[in-house]
Structures are given as C-alpha cells and as structure tokens.
C-alpha cells in the first residue's frame, strides 16, 4: 500500500501542478505502481472538477457563464498544461505532413508552430462550449459524469503506454513504459467496477457511464492505430495529446447526452 501511495504521488508530481514536496523513488517498482494508479489520478482530478463545479453552481452567486469559465480555467491550471503541450507538439508533427522520423523531429522542436497554436485554440474553445452548455442543463448525474472524464482519459493513457511500442529510445513515455507491462493493467478494471459501484450508491448513471466507456474505447482504438501509422509508436507528447483528445470527446459526449438523453 505504501508503494502504491508513492506511485500516486509520483503521478501528482509529473502530471499536475499540485506541489508535492517529497523526494520520491523513481525505481521500476514505484513507477509500475504509478502506471497502475493512472486512473486513480484521473478520478482524483475528476472529483476536484465535479466538487468545484457543484460549489460554483449551488453556493455562489456566479452566473452559469462564470462557473463554466472557472471550471475551464481549473482544468488547465490543475494539470499545469502538460498535456496541452503534448497536444500542440503532436499537432505540429502531424500537420507537417512529413514522414514518421521528420514528424518526431518537429515534435522535439521546443518552438510551437502555427498548427499547434490553432489546434489548442480549437481544443480549448470547444471544451469551453461544452462545459458552458452543460451548466445550462446540469443534472445531479452530471457531476458524476464530469468526475468520470479524467478517470477514462488517464485509463486511455495507460492503455496506450503499455500496448503500443515507443517511437523513441528516450523520454518520459519510455521511462514509464520500461517499468510496467500489459499484465499490470488489471487494476484499471477495478477502478471501472468501483465507479459503477459509486454510481449505484449515488443513485444512477449506469447508462451514461457505459456510453462514455464505449466512446473512450473508440478513441483508444483510433489513437493506437494513428500513433503507429503517423509516428511509428507513442511518445510522451502523443500520450498527452491522447489525454486531451479523449477528454475533449468525452466532454462532447456528455454535452450531447444532456441534449438528447438527459433532457
């Protein structure tokens, strides 16, 4: 249990802006625990988002627009923009329309190109639209589904990490990939089952969560195929882009559910 807790804290250090003032071990065993705790990190983030959103809408005088904006800002600040950086780098690499090696070189360039800027504007503006319109039609189940979004996106990140070869011989992705194996992914099913149990205790949402799982699986399969085709495998930037892309489509799914199912 102590090793697992340290793995979770490693994730907080790497993937969030939350200060963790501890010198944590980076050996194979603790990094393996970190990979196993990816969905837990996502659930932690999701619970923060949902709680913050609920407080804004129920206990403050802020308008729906202001609440949506503050949640939107929180989703950026909490991660420190680490996944957004991957989204921009991957966008620059893909839209260079070069071969795999050239795309990897473009992604390694510390400068951000025009396509990276355009893509992040589209990503963030779309997310803001989805969040705002959810505030207008918010349901009690909406908060649970918001908590599920990072849970599923971090699960997609872990699945990609351990089921797709690395496109580079070094980097953050390789560091985590070398510490774990696909057999370590069994813990992800525990998190999903646990969330279903939470929904049962919370009074519903099985159908909505099932739809979001299906969407996450579709995105996972798409990312696996395109990562190999376009880049020859995964890198830290591609994993970050996958997290942002998954969350965008899950926010869109929740937005559509509010219009056509939950209305």
pLDDT by 10-residue block (mean), the chain, 263 residues: 87 92 87 95 97 97 97 96 94 91 90 93 98 94 96 97 89 82 92 91 84 97 96 94 98 95 76
Domain boundaries, the chain: 62-260
C-alpha span between 60 and 91 (Å, rounded): 38
Sign of the dihedral defined by the CA atoms of residues 222, 225, 227, 231, in that order = negative
DSSP state of 79: T
Rounded Cα gap, residues 203 and 155, in angstroms: 24
Which tokens sit at 249? 């489509």
List b or e across 54-91, with b for residues whose CB sees 16 or more CB atoms inside 10 angstroms.
bebbeeeeeebeebbbbbbebbeebbeebbbbbbbbbb
For residue 178, the model assigns a pLDDT of 84
How far is Cα 43 from Cα 153, in angstroms, rounded to an integer? 10
Residues ≥6 apart with Cβ < 8 Å to 35: 7, 158, 161, 162, 176, 179, 180, 184
Which residue is it, tokens 């070189």?
A: 105
Residue 24 near residue 6 (C-beta atoms within 8 A) = yes
With a CB cutoff of 8 Å and minimum separation 6, the contacts of 24 are 6, 9, 10, 13, 30
């Amino acid at each position: 249990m102590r090793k697992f807790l340290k793995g979770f804290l490693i994730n907080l250090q790497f993937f969030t802006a939350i200060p963790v003032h501890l010198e944590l071990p980076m050996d194979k065993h603790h990094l393996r625990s970190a990979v196993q705790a990816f969905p837990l990190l996502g659930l932690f983030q999701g619970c923060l988002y949902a709680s913050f959103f609920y407080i804004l809408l129920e206990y403050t005088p802020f308008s729906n627009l202001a609440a949506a904006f503050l949640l939107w800002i929180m989703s950026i600040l909490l991660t420190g923009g680490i996944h957004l950086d991957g989204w921009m780098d991957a966008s620059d690499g893909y839209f260079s329309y070069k071969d795999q090696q050239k795309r990897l070189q473009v992604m390694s360039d510390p400068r951000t190109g025009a396509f990276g800027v355009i893509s992040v504007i589209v990503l963030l503006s779309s997310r803001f639209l989805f969040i705002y319109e959810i505030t207008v039609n918010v349901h009690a189940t909406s908060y649970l589904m918001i908590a599920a979004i990072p849970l599923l996106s971090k699960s997609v990140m872990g699945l990609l990490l351990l089921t797709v070869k690395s496109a580079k011989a070094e980097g953050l992705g390789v560091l985590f990939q070398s510490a774990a194996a696909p057999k370590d992914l069994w813990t992800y099913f525990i998190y999903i089952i646990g969330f279903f149990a939470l929904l049962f205790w919370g009074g519903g949402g099985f159908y909505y969560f099932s739809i979001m799982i299906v969407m996450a699986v579709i995105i996972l399969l798409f990312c696996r195929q395109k990562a190999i085709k376009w880049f020859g495998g995964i890198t830290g930037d591609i994993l970050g882009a996958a997290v942002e892309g998954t969350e965008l489509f899950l926010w869109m799914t929740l937005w559509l559910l509010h219009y056509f199912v939950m209305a």
